[in-house]
Amino acid sequence: MRGPHVGQIQNYACHCLGLESYFRRPGDGRVHPSIPARDVVWAVVIGHILRVASFLRLEWLAHSPVRSELGLRGPFGDDALAYCTERMDPETTRMALAAALRQAKRNKAFENSRFIGLPLDGTGAGRTYKEACPLCDPIQDPQGEVHGQLHHFVLISVVSVGGLTLPVDVEPYGPGDSEYAAAQRLLRRAADHLGARFADYVVGDGEYATAPFLHTSGEVALPVVARLKENLPLLTAAVRARFDGRPPQAVFEEGGDRVEVWDYDHFDPWETLDWPEVRVLRYRQHKRDGTTVQAEWLTDFSIAKLGSLSFYRMAKSRWQIENQGFNDGKNRYGMEHICHHEPHSILIVWLLILLALVIERLYRLRYLHRGDHGIRSAMDLCTYLWLSLGSRNPPDPG
Ligand SMILES: [Zn+2]
């Protein structure tokens, strides 16, 4: 069979990313399983690559004539998907994701990048008006009236500066918990699963520029790059006093934009932060369309280890999680949709969506790219896979 097809993706996942043993034993907690967990997990993964997000539509695929082409051994109902995902151990899937990313790094998936970062960010998904589950956070208007519920989680990804972004893990947080506490649990776990020296830095928005989070980063031996905002008034005032009214220390041409930078590494830490000093970069980015963006970022990287331009690029890598993490996950891969409204199942499905994103992105950008099959976008691949299903002679991908 020529060209990309589902069987080739399954082979790639099992053999190139080393996921074969995970698919055989994905952490099934059922006592008397009638449907193999392997089929359940693969159905959710390949279903999300094919943009089939609901359990009912996966049931329809599992009863269709292309079942074996999809890599599924037998038919099953949507209730089996719900029952199995409620009882899976999330740790097994989290370890598999980290192992696949370590394998991708060994396969030189990030080869063009000098620095690998771990961006973190929180979001909400799966708005519902049904009866609340323990993860449901009520959405209140300014008058305190509740308009449905939302499920919150923090996502951590791997980003190579200017290049590939791949998700690593998620940590949900419900009422009584916080993004901030969830992010610290997530960073500790991801650093442990990915191993020492996998990444070079952690990057987050202003909410992460707080002493406990910066200390957590230090605990896992990773320098951190965080946005400086008004929540640190003393440091913000010191930065203004030093940078305002002075000419920039350097000017770069970056991606067609002109970027002016101010960079100083001897600011005093605020009282709860145990760093000896704080380095702050201010950039003013003049875009080709005439607009200007100015922002300030702090770090514990020394100037000797990290130049101003690399610091600027690391700060900018924070936005890749928006573009390639949440937006892809929500808009294209169905993270917005809750398959089965039960907290354990919600978490397992989110983790399987991350696994689907990792497999799809590496297969498309690193595997297909070598053969120059002419497929570049996720939508092209999805369409091509649908066209080739059930066809003995799939179309030439051109
Ligand atoms: Zn809920």
Distance from Cα 27 to the centre of ligand 1, integer Å: 23
Position 112 pLDDT exceeds 80: no
As a whole-number percent, the residues of the chain with pLDDT over 90 amount to 75
Cα 49 to ligand 1 centroid, rounded to whole Å: 24
Per-residue pLDDT of 212-227, as tens digits, reads 999 999 999 999 999 9
Ligand 1 centre to CA of 150 (Å) is 7
User: What CA–CA distance (Å, rounded) separates 288 from 257?
Assistant: 6
Which residues does residue 172 pair with via DSSP β-bridges, in sequence order?
153
Instruction: For residue 328, report the distance from its CA to the centre of ligand 1, in Å.
Output: 22
User: Interior CA angle at 125 toward 35 and 89, to 5°?
Assistant: 35
- Could you tell me which residues are beta bridge partners of residue 165? 159
Q: Say how many Å lie between the CA of residue 135 and the centre of ligand 1.
A: 5
From the CA of 31, how far away is ligand 1's center (Å)? 26
Residue 1, pLDDT above cutoff 50: no
Residues 78 and 39: beta-carbon distance below 8 Å: no
Instruction: Give, to the nearest 10 degrees, the angle between helix 211-219 and helix 179-194.
Output: 10
Q: What is the mean pLDDT of the chain?
A: 91
What are 20-29's pLDDT values in tens digits? 999 999 999 9
Distance 261 CA to ligand 1 centre (A): 45
Residue 137 CA to ligand 1 center (angstroms) comes to: 7
How far is the CA of 193 from the CAs of 91, 95, 98, 285, 287, in angstroms?
10, 6, 6, 36, 39
Residue 202, strand partner residues: 118, 224
H-type helices in 204-287, by residue range? 211-219, 233-243
pLDDT of the residue at 211: 95
Task: Give the pLDDT band of residue 186 (cuts 50, 70, 90).
Answer: very high
pLDDT of res. 225: 96
Identify the band that residue 102 occupies on the pLDDT scale cut at 50, 70 and 90: very high
Residue 2's pLDDT is what? 61
Q: Which two tokens stand for residue 365?
A: 């950008």
DSSP letters for 274-325: --S-EEEEEEEEE-TTS-EEEEEEEE---TTTS-HHHHHHHHHHTTHIIIII
Average pLDDT over residues 117-128: 90
Q: Tell me: pLDDT of 111 over 60.
A: yes
pLDDT in tens, 364-392: 988 887 766 677 788 889 999 999 897 75
Which residues is 112 bridged to in the sheet?
none
d(CA 371, CA 361): 15
Crossing angle, helix 343-362 and helix 90-106, to 10 degrees?
10
133 CA distance to ligand 1 middle (Å): 4
The length of the chain is 398
Residue 398, pLDDT > 50, answer no
4 CA from centroid of ligand 1 (Å): 37
